[in-house]
Amino acid sequence: MTEQSVSTALPLQGVYPENGHRTDGERNIIQSINPITKVVLGEVPVATPEDIQAVMQRVRAAQPAWASRPLEERIALLRQFQKSLYYHHEAMVQMLADEAGKVLHEARIEMIDAFGVTEYYVKITKKALKPQPRYVMLLPYRRQKVVRKPYGVVLVIAPWNFPLLLSLTPIITALVAGNTVVYKPSEYGTQTGELIKKALYDAGFPEDVFQIVHGYGDVGAALIDARPDKICFTGSETTGRKIAAKAGEHLIPVIMELGGKDAAIVLEDADIERTARGLVWAGVFNAGQMCVAIERVYVMRSVADQLIERMKYHMEKSVRPGPNSDHHSTYGAIITEAQAKIIQQQVEDARAKGATVMTFSEPHGENAERFYAPTLITNVKPDMEIMQRETFGPVIPVIPVDSEEEAIRLHNDSEYGLTGSVWTEDAERGKRIMEQLNVGVVSLNDHVVSMSTPEMPWGGIKASGYGRTRGIEGLHEMTYPQTFSTERFRLPYKFDLFWLPYTPFKKAFLRRFFHLWFGATFKDRLKAFKP
Q: Which residues contact 466 (CB under 8 A, 6 or more apart)?
A: 255, 256, 459, 460
Please indicate whether residue 291 is annotated as part of the active site.
yes
Handedness of CA 344, 347, 350, 352 (dihedral sign): negative
Q: Which amino acid is at 338?
A: A
* CA dist 343 → 148, 180, 336, 363, 397 (Å): 44, 38, 11, 15, 13
Please say if 257 is a catalytic residue. yes
Active-site entry in 110, 257, 295, 404: 257
The phi, psi pair for 106, rounded to 5°, reads -70, -30
Dist CA 6 CA 241 (whole Å): 10
- Which of 99, 291, 390, 404 is an active site residue? 291
d(CA 161, CA 461): 21
Buried (b) or exposed (e) across 51-78, using 16+ Cβ within 10 A?
Answer: bbeebbebbbebbeebbeeebeebbebb
- Is residue 135 helix, strand or coil? coil
Strand (E) positions, 286-404?
A: 294-300, 356-359, 375-378, 395-401
Say if residues 157 and 231 touch (Cβ distance below 8 Å).
Answer: yes
197, 224, 225, 199: which is closest to 211 by C-alpha? Answer: 197
Catalytic site positions: 257, 291
